[in-house]
Chain A
Amino acid sequence: MTINDNGTATNGTASSIAIPTSSSNTAATTNGNNSFTVKAGLAQMLKGGVIMDVVNAGQARIAEEAGACAVMALERVPADIRKDGGVARMSDPELIKGIQEAVTIPVMAKARIGHFVECQVLEALGVDYIDESEVLTPADDTYHVEKSNFGVPFVCGCRNLGEALRRIAEGAAMIRTKGEAGTGDVVEAVKHMRTVNRDIARAQGVLASEGEVGIRALARELGTDAALLKQTAELGRLPVVNFAAGGVATPADAALMMQLGCDGVFVGSGIFKSGNAAARAKAIVTAVTHYRDAKIIAECSAGLGEAMVGINCGSMAPSEKLAGRGW
Chain B
Amino acid sequence: MAITIGVLAVQGAFLEHITLLRKAAGEITSTDLSFNFIEVRTSGELYTCDALIIPGGESTTISLVAARTDLLDCLRDFVKVERKPVWGSCAGLILLSEAANSTKRGGQELIGGIDVRVNRNHFGRQIESFQADLKLPFLDQARMPADAFPGVFIRAPVVEKLLPKVEGVQADEQQVPDSVVAPSKQAKDEKAQAASSGQVEIMGVLPGRMKRAAEKGAEIRASEEAGDIIAVKQGNVFGTSFHPELTADFRIHVWWLQQVVAAVNR
Contact = CB atoms under 8 A, between A and B. Distances in A.
A41 B152 contact: yes
A128 interface: yes
B108 to A, nearest CB: 9
B215 interface: yes
Interface string B135-156: 0000000001101001011110
A10 B20 CA distance: 10
A285 interface: yes
Interface string B212-244: 001111000000000000000000000000010
B159 interface: no
Interface stretch (A80-88, A101-109, A185-193): A101-109
A142 interface: no
Interface string A27-54: 0011111110110011011111100000
**Highest count of chain A CB atoms <10 Å: which of B10, B15, B129:** B129
Contacts of B145: 1, 3, 5
A53 B21 CA distance: 35
A33 B130 contact: yes
Contact of A61 (B20, B65, B105): B105
Contacts of B245: 11-12
B84 interface: no
B251 interface: yes
A45 B254 contact: no
B58 A69 contact: yes
A65 B104 CA distance: 9
A7 B131 contact: yes
Contact of B60 (A42, A105, A290): A105
Interface residues of B, number: 61
Range of interface residues on chain A?
35 or more
B61 interface: yes
Interface string A1-15: 101111111111111
B127 A12 contact: no
Interface stretch (B46-54, B74-82, B118-126, B194-202): B118-126
A241 to B, nearest CB: 10
B60 A41 contact: no
Contact of B19 (A11, A105, A286): A11
B43 interface: no
Interface in A12-27: 12-16, 26
A277 interface: no
A179 interface: no
B68 interface: yes
A44 B246 contact: yes
Contact of B249 (A7, A45, A285): A7
A12 B19 contact: yes
A107 to B, nearest CB: 8
A153 interface: yes
Contacts of B147: 3, 5
Contacts of B254: 1
Contacts of B10: 48, 289
A104 B120 contact: yes
Interface in B149-178: 150, 152-155
Contact of B129 (A4, A38, A66, A290): A38
Given A13-B16, A33-B214, A41-B154, A69 B61 contact: yes
B4 interface: no
Given A4-B248, A105-B60, A128 B217 contact: no
Contacts of A105: 58, 60-61, 104
B180 interface: no
Contacts of B41: 289-290, 293
Which of A11, A29, A105, A152 is packed against the most chain B CB atoms within 10 Å? A11
A6 B147 CA distance: 11
A127 B9 CA distance: 27
Nearest to B23: A11
Interface in A79-138: 102-106, 123, 126-129
Given A10-B247, A12-B19, A64-B104, A286 B68 contact: yes
B152 A37 contact: yes
A47 B13 contact: yes
B247 A9 contact: yes
Interface in A261-292: 282, 285-286, 288-290
Given A41-B129, A106-B125, 12 more contacts: A1-B254, A35-B131, A42-B126, A42-B154, A42-B155, A45-B243, A49-B57, A67-B61, A68-B61, A70-B58, A129-B126, A289-B11
12 contacts: A4-B248, A9-B247, A10-B16, A13-B15, A31-B128, A42-B126, A42-B154, A42-B155, A45-B155, A47-B13, A104-B120, A126-B124
Question: 3 nearest interchain CB pairs?
Answer: A7-B150, A33-B130, A128-B126
